[in-house]
Structures are given as structure tokens and as C-alpha cells.
Amino acid sequence: MRPVIVRWRMRGCARSASPLGSQCPPAPRTTRAARRCPIATVAGSGTSTTQALQFAESYVTEDLVLRTARSLAHEVGLDAVTPGAGAALRLLAAAGSARAVVEIGTGTGVSGVWLLRGMRADGVLTTIDVEVEHQRIARRIFAEAGFAAGRTRIITGRALDVLPRLADGAYDLIFVDAESTGFAACVDAALRLLRPGGVLALNGTLAGGRIGDPAARDVETVTIREAVKAIRESEHWIPALLPVGHGLLAAVKC
Ligand SMILES: C[S@@+](CC[C@H](N)C(=O)[O-])C[C@H]1O[C@@H](n2cnc3c(N)ncnc32)[C@H](O)[C@@H]1O
């Protein structure tokens, strides 16, 4: 059967030879797209730091399925996880032999494919998104990546409506990649849903580089700052803030 991906348009990926260039459309720093830019493109970074971060981002490369999912994310106006963040998610899933994973923010399936590639072969990814159109694309991407339909449980709805329906202590990894305003509630839900030793991962936690700037008081930055501080100070989590992509806060449930 002819793969469906060859029939899909490949727009965003062809724009730049740089793996980061394809992530971050040129835009003034005041726009939402600029606020979400990977840390490696933050103004003021030294050249060698920028080059090192770009090297780290492109260290694990993406195949055609992932590049297609990423291109489709661009087309519908989404920021998918960067290749560096995707590789980190795959690592976390593999390190924990994850069998049951929850993803909040399916998008077009970029992060979902990375997670599935790190999970056990019998693992199931429960992925939640409020937009059925995004999930329609993701479903095709998962199939194109070779995952049987039974490997994914795709739920359409708002995270805070769906999460209460999931079972306590039943999950190995929870990945949050939706609006930062929901971070605190998702962290609370993750504490209930994860088994001891399970891992929470929050994307976008460097707030476009503004997280450490005390002068940055916009709502998004403040919300993220409070969420990462609460996790660091909680006795329930062992955290590390990984500077990949937009910043990936990973925390093990004690
Ligand atoms: C940044 S995109 C996710 C990208 C995806 N994780 C990837 O890397 O391919 C954020 C997604 O979250 C979804 N979303 C936003 N708010 C949500 C909510 N409250 N509940 C569930 N999904 C939500 C959006 O529709 C969008 O598809």
C-alpha cells in the first residue's frame, strides 16, 4: 500500500536546513510564536552556547514520518516538540519501560510518535486533545509510523474534563504539552495518576528564555514560573529542568 505521507504536503520542513529553523518561524519576539521559541534561539545567547544547543537538538534526527507530522503541525499553527525534546521523551519512556503513558496535547502526533518509540511494545499511549482535527491527523501519523490502533487511546476533550476519568496510580509517564494556564491542575492530576517512580514531563517550561528574568511578569511566564517552583519545592517530586527545546521539566513521583 502506498504510504499516505507521500500524498501530504511538506511545507514547513523545507524552509530551512537548520533543524531549529524549521521549528521556529521568524517573528518578532513579542508574538506568541516568538515566546515559544526554543531556548537555543533566545536573543543574548552566546554563539558557542547556541551552536552547542543546536547540535544537541539535531543529535537524534527525525525520520520522514516525524518530519511530516512536524510539517503538518506548522500547517495547522502548532508548535510540536523539538527533536531534542522528542528524543528526551523517548528516553524517559524507555528508561522507565513505560507501558501506560498519558499525553495532554496530541497535536499532529510528533510527541506521540517519540513517546511510542520509547515505550514497551505492548504499551498504550492515552492522548488527549480538545481539537478533533489535530487528532485526525495524529491518528494517521501513528498508523504511518507503524503503530497498531490498539497502541493508542485517542480521547477528544479538555484535559481537565478527561483526566478525572483516568485511573489512580495506573500510569508510568505523563506528558503535558497544552496551555500553560492548565499546568498546575495537570500537575495535581499527575500526582494522582502516576505510580510511585512514574515521571511527569512538562513542555515549555523555560517560557522562551524568560523564566529566569525577574522583570518578565506576563501571565504566561508567571504561570510557568509558579508551576516549576511548586514542583521544585514539593516533597512529592524529584525534578530536573532540561534545557531542550522549549524547556522540558521532568520530575519523578516519590
Ligand atoms: C503545542 S500543541 C501539542 C503538540 C504535540 N504535543 C506535539 O508535539 O506534536 C498543543 C495542543 O494542545 C491542545 N490543547 C490546548 N488546550 C487544551 C486543553 N485544555 N485540553 C486538551 N488539549 C488542549 C491544542 O489543541 C493543541 O493540539
CATH classification at residue 116: 3.40.50.150
Residue 13 lies in a domain: no
Cα(79) to centroid(ligand 1), Å: 9
Residue 92's contacts (CB-CB under 8 Å, 6 or more residues apart) are 98, 118, 173, 199, 201, 250
| Ligand 1 nearest-atom number relative to CA 182 | 19
Q: What is the pTM of this model?
A: 0.87
Best of 23, 102, 106, 186 for a ligand 1 pocket test (most atoms within 8 Å of beta carbon): 106
Question: Exposure pattern of 91-102 as b/e (b: 16+ CB <10 Å)?
Answer: ebbeebebbbbb
Residue 140 lies in a domain: yes
pLDDT of residue 152: 99
Domain count, the chain: 1
The pLDDT tens digits along the chain (254 residues) read 344 443 443 333 333 333 233 333 333 333 444 445 565 555 455 789 899 999 999 999 999 999 999 999 999 999 999 999 999 999 999 999 999 999 999 999 999 999 999 999 999 999 999 999 999 999 999 999 999 999 999 999 999 999 999 999 999 999 999 999 999 999 999 999 999 999 999 999 999 999 999 999 999 999 999 999 999 999 999 999 999 999 999 999 99
Q: Whose CA is nearest to atom 27 of ligand 1?
A: 107
Residue 217 lies in a domain: yes
Element holding 156 (H helix, E strand): strand 152-156
Q: For residue 153, what are the domain limits?
A: 83-253
| Ligand 1 nearest-atom number relative to CA 109 | 9
